[in-house]
Each structure stands twice: as C-alpha cells, then as structure tokens.
Structure 1
Amino acid sequence: MRVLVIGASGYVGSRVVPAFLAAGCTVRAGARDPASLRRFWWHERVETAEVDVTDARTLPPSLEEVDVVVYLVHGMRSAHFRQVDPAAARQVRRAVDASSATRMVYVSGFVPAGDPGELSDHLRSRWEVEEELCRSSRPVTTLRAGIVLGSGSTSFEVLGQLGGRLPVTVVPGWLHTKVEPIAVVDLVAAVLGAVFSDLPTRSFDVGCGRALRYPDLLRLYGRITGMPRAQLTLPRIPSTVVGKVGSWVCDVPSATLTALIESLRHDMIARDARWRGSLVPATYRPSTVERALQRAVLPVDPAVPPEERDPMGPLPGDPDWAVAAAEARRYSARGIPPRRRRPPG
C-alpha cells in the first residue's frame, strides 16, 4: 500500500510516517518544501513530493499510484486560515476524486455539540475542512482529537510552557472547561487503523477516556514534572489578554497560540469511544494522561538511534520552540526555573 501523508513535516506527520513504514507501507511524504523533510531520521526511507494544498498544480503528481491519503494540514499560523483551509480542502478533495486513491483520513479537532457558528475560528475551520473532504466520492475517515500529548506537540508545549515558566499560573474564570487529551502514540494507532479499514465515510472522537478541567491538567503537569504552581483565578480576564500574555510566556508561534486559547472556551471531550473496536481492537487501552506526560519528559539517551526512541519524547526534527520537556527535566534535576528563550513568532 502506498500512503500519501500531506503535512508530513508537522508534529503528527513526523510520528505517523515511521509507523506506516513499520507497518510495511510505501510512504510518500508530502510537504510544501520537500527539503524541510531532511531533518527527520526517516527521510531517506520515504518518497518525497512537493504538496502545496493552496496550489492545485502540485496535487496530481503527488497522487500518482497512491492508495490512501492522510490529510494533516492546519493553517493556524495564517491570519486568514478560515478562508484558506476550506479552499485548500476543496482542491485536495477534487484531486483525490480524480486519482487512484481509494480512501482519505483526516485528523481534525473535537466538534462540541451545538451550532457550528458558535465555535471558535480554529474549531470551525477544522469542521469546515471535514465537511468539504467528506463530499469526496471516496470514503473519508475523520479522527477528531483534542489536546495531543507528546514532546513537540503544540498543545503539549502550550501546557508545559504556560504551566512551568511562571511562579503563579493565572487562570481566566472561563477556563474551567473540560479537556480530554490523547497521547500521540494512540492517535497514530487510530490513524493506522483508519487507513487499513474498509469503513464508509464516518467520524470518530479519539481520546484517552478521561476528561478533566484545564486547571486540573495544569496541576497534574506540575506534579508529574516537579514544578507545582499556585493558581490565581481572574474572573473577567478576556481571551485576547490571555493570548497576549501567553505569547509573552511561550515560544509557540503567537497566531497558533491565540487560536488554541480561544478554542479552550469549549469542552474538548470525546462524546463516545467508538474508535476502540472500530479502528483498533476493543481491548486496546490508550495511555493515561499521567503516563503520557511521564513519557513525554523522560530523559533521552543520545546513544539510542532516533528510530528506536520513544515517539512520545523529543526526536530530531521537532520544532525549535518545542522545549517544554527539556525544561521540565532540567528543572526537576537541578531546581533551576525554566526561562523563555526567544520572542514569539
């Protein structure tokens, strides 16, 4: 089976590609700049393709002799992602319909119940992309996930950098919504299950099975990493202020951080656990939140080749701003408070 991974240079893509290789698939890694893939250890084991989802001309060549397409593109760094993302999905859907591909898999975000018009821009964009892709004549499996835990994940970095860099964590009064994380290794297992399935077009909520409030998740991170922080609740602080403070504290790109924070106004939890039994065996047990956080911050032995390391931990090719795991280990070992490294991008 030949799998085209669109967005292979992103965090989930960097963990999905080696899983497909291990499963015996031929992998075509698609990225806007194929040269950017050279930073990953698996680069020489895959086919590479220039895939710019905003440029329809790049799509037909990348889809030649492809069996399944995995779509992992989210344009939160652009100020116009609400317009760009659905348009890009439309071009991909049309190209897939004209290709040899027999299936698509899309990794999206949780879609809370209610009027889609009331969703944050981030979540509404992902819902609109899902709606567009599902117009395909090919079966489309959508995996809806919330916070993805693992060193290098944007949501893990936000959690770790917000939760570890200030002596007191300021919590807005509205930030008591529920979240249900998932370890990246479990999300990867769901992606593989979807690719090898013969299901009709369908969406699945994928989570760890435990929902907790975001302030409790911050406390749990502090306890596991040895960086407990007092929390101060400010009832009326607006999300725009939270975004600006977060941009000052975090190395995560500011546009991405703002979009993620706005989404935390919604409960981000799975409505069912149908993915277990449909995409993975019913006996599959996803990692607990505690275990996922522990694995994400474990020390890395540089003598171990990257292909043998735990994908929950840091790997070559992770973003330069992915520093939460290293800061947690440094603080835990020496009692040195983590510091911010650079201005927000």
Structure 2
Amino acid sequence: MRVAVVGASGYVGSRLVPELLRRGHDVVATHHRSPATAYPWAGDVEWRRVDVQDEERVLEALEGVDAICYLVHGLDDEDFMRLDRQAADNVAYAAGAVGATRLVYFSGIVPDLPAAELSDHLLSRLEVEEVLAAAECSVLTLRASMVIGAGSTSFEVMRQMSHRLGVVQTVPAWMGGSVIQPVAVADAVWFLAEALERPDATGHLDVVGPDRLSYVALLRTYAARARLLRLQLPVWLAPVGAVARVAGALVDVPSGTVRSLIPSLGHDMVGRLDAADVLGEPPGGRLAVADAVTRSLATSRAGDGASDGASVEGDPQAPSVGDPGWARHRSVLSWVGARAWSAAWSAVRG
C-alpha cells in the first residue's frame, strides 16, 4: 500500500514511518520547507513538498496514494485554530479527489464537556476531526492524551520541568484532581499503522495505555524512574495562565506550544472507546507508564542504527538524531539557578 504521512518530520510521524516500512508499505513523506534528512529512514521514502494551507499543493502531494495519515497540528501560531481548520478542509477534499481509500487522523482525547469549557487546543482538535470526517473515503480518528517517548513535546516538558525545578517542586493543586491515561509512542504508532490497514474501523477510538493516574502521580513516576529525589508541594493559588508562562520560560520546548498545552491539564484525559477493543493489542501488550518512561530514558543521546528511535531497527521510545534541538538531553546544572528562575518570574510578571 502507498501511504502518505502528512507531518512525517514531526515526532509521531518520525516514529510511524519506520513502522510502516517494517510492514512493507511504500511511504510518501511530506515536508513543508525541506526534507527531514537527519532521520535514518529519510532515503527510504518519497519526499513531496506541501503547504497544507494551499489546496493545489495538497492535491499534488497526495496524488497516487492509497491511504493518508494526517499528523499536522499548528500550536505555534496564534491563529492556529483557523489554520488547522483550513488545512483539514484541504486534506479532506484531496483525499476524495485523488482516490485515497483510507484517512487516519491522530488527535487528542476530548473530555466530555461543553465546547465552551474546552481549551482552544482541544477544541481545535475536535474541529479538525469533524472536517476530516466529511472526506469521501473511510475515515478514522485516533485520540490520545500524553504520548510518552524521548522527544515527545509533552514528555520533554515533563522531563525538563522535573529536572529544573529542584528537589522541592511546587505543583498546582488543580493538577492533582485530573486523571490521565498516557500512551507509549511505540504503542501509538502501532495503532496508527494498524488503523491504516483496517478501513472497516471508522469514527473515533482512543489510543491509551494500561494505566490511569493523576498528573501528580505521573510526575512522581517520572522522578522515581529518573532516580530524582523530588518533594511535591501543592499550591492552591496557581492560575492556569501563570503556570503556562512559568513552564514556557523554564523549558526548551517552544513557549507558544507549552502555553497552548497547559490549559488541557485541568481536564480528565482518559479513554472511553479503547482502540484495542477494535484493532487488537500490540505484540507483547501495551507498555505501562513506568516501563515507557524507563525505555525513554535508557539512552541519553541518540546514536546510529538500532540505538536511534526513528530507525527501522530501533526502539521508538528512544531519542533520534532527527529530533528538534530543544528535545536533546542537555546538562541540567547549567539551567538550575538564578538564570532560570529569573526568566520564569519575568515571564509571570510580563
């Protein structure tokens, strides 16, 4: 099968492509500015340039493909909701126009709340789902909460905050009441590849791991597996906006992305329609949170061949040489101290 991965150079896409190659599929990998040549699989796919905001370019990029996996999310732009809607509309139209028979979208778990109570991040994901569902082919949305793996945006925020906040960590009290069901990236890409091969499954399903836990418990699990001594101090007066600004100042992940993600932490993000009930279980079963974290921390620096998380032979949980610079495991000591705290509190005051 000829599969187009729209967003191949992103985190999930970079781990999905080797899974598709392992299964024997031909892969068309799209890029916006230039091909992501650092990934080990870069020479094994057909690269096509695309601007998802341009309908004609989308049609050209998807010509001749049998299936499409759509992985584009525009959190970095202030107008990301409008841009995401337009991009989804272009892809939905192109899927029918080029004769693709399958479209799979990787979205986020949407809490069962009125639209007015959803963060812009979650509301945008839901709108994209609705637009793509109108495509003239078989469509399935796979929803996930936090994806655990070295290089994942949400995992890197957790990792960097855990290391840089020091022994005593102030944690917003409202995070203690929210429950999350994270999924290992190794399991997420298995479900995506399986979904592309199963046009009988439509609608939406939740891609989740076996554990349900609070965000506070998740931070404790990370600290234990990273062998960090951390004491959590709940803070009751911690507005979401202030928390987002502090987090954005303390980590290397782009601050706009962090500010878009933080408001979602106040919602329960657990599965209601488990993808495993429809698509089956990955070989060996799904990874528990603790095991997923351990495998994500097993290699401090991406190497060659099997040690690279985006290689066909590699462990998707591991880092890759193609991951963005802010995802590198860097010295913690160089960050902890006055400089980091000064930047954080300046962000709050500003």
TM-score, normalised via structure 1 length: 0.92
1:28 paired to 2:28: yes
Q: Unaligned stretches of 5+ in structure 2? A: 345-350
SS in 1 for 2:198: coil
Contact 1:147-1:180 within 8 A present in 2 as well: yes
Contact 2:157-2:253 within 8 A present in 1 as well: yes
Contact 2:303-2:321 within 8 A present in 1 as well: no
Task: Deviation per CA, 1:25-76: give whole Å up to 9, x if none.
Answer: 000001212x241121111100001121111121111111100000000000
The answer for the alignment partner of 1:136 in structure 2 is 135
Task: Deviation per CA, 1:263-287: give whole Å up to 9, x if none.
Answer: 11111111142x1142234886200
Q: Which shifted more, 42-51 or 169-178?
A: 169-178
1:244 shift after superposition: 1.2
1:228 shift after superposition: 2.4
The answer for the alignment partner of 2:259 in structure 1 is 258
Contact 2:169-2:232 within 8 A present in 1 as well: yes
1:201 shift after superposition: 2.5
Q: In structure 2, what is the Cα distance between the partners aligned to 1:280 and 1:191?
A: 12
Q: In structure 1, what is the Cα distance between the partners aligned to 2:203 and 2:63?
A: 25
Structure 1: 4+ residue segments shifted above 3 A? 281-284, 300-306, 340-344
The answer for the alignment partner of 2:292 in structure 1 is 292
1:209 shift after superposition: 2.1
Contact 2:31-2:50 within 8 A present in 1 as well: yes
SS in 2 for 1:207: coil
Do the aligned partners of residues 19 and 200 (structure 1) sit closer, same or farther apart at CA in structure 2, a change above 3 Å counting?
closer
The answer for the alignment partner of 1:280 in structure 2 is 280
The answer for the alignment partner of 2:151 in structure 1 is 152
SS in 2 for 1:38: coil
The answer for the alignment partner of 2:244 in structure 1 is 243
1:78 paired to 2:77: yes
Equivalent residue letter for 1:62 = A
Q: In structure 1, what is the Cα distance between the partners aligned to 2:42 and 2:283?
A: 33
Task: Deviation per CA, 1:72-112: give whole Å up to 9, x if none.
Answer: 00000111111111111011111111112001000000011
Task: Deviation per CA, 1:229-272: give whole Å up to 9, x if none.
Answer: 11121112111111111112100100100111011111111114
Do the aligned partners of residues 277 and 271 (structure 1) sit closer, same or farther apart at CA in structure 2, a change above 3 Å counting?
closer
SS in 2 for 1:124: helix
Q: In structure 1, what is the Cα distance between the partners aligned to 2:54 and 2:152?
A: 27
State how 1:40-79 maps to structure 2 within 5 Å.
40-79=39-78
Task: Deviation per CA, 1:106-136: give whole Å up to 9, x if none.
Answer: 0000011121231100000000000110011
Q: In structure 1, what is the Cα distance between the partners aligned to 2:335 and 2:273?
A: 39
Contact 2:302-2:321 within 8 A present in 1 as well: no
Equivalent residue letter for 1:270 = G
1:339 paired to 2:335: yes
Task: Deviation per CA, 1:317-344: give whole Å up to 9, x if none.
Answer: 0010113xx35xx7xxxxx746369989
The alignment covers a number of residue pairs equal to: 333
Contact 1:207-1:269 within 8 A present in 2 as well: yes
Do the aligned partners of residues 57 and 309 (structure 1) sit closer, same or farther apart at CA in structure 2, a change above 3 Å counting?
same
Contact 1:164-1:229 within 8 A present in 2 as well: no
The answer for the alignment partner of 1:333 in structure 2 is none
Q: Unaligned stretches of 5+ in structure 1? A: 331-335
TM-score, normalised via structure 2 length: 0.90
Q: In structure 1, what is the Cα distance between the partners aligned to 2:322 and 2:144?
A: 23
Contact 2:66-2:101 within 8 A present in 1 as well: yes
Equivalent residue letter for 1:285 = G
1:316 shift after superposition: 1.2
Equivalent residue letter for 1:198 = P
SS in 2 for 1:208: coil
Q: In structure 1, what is the Cα distance between the partners aligned to 2:32 and 2:215?
A: 34
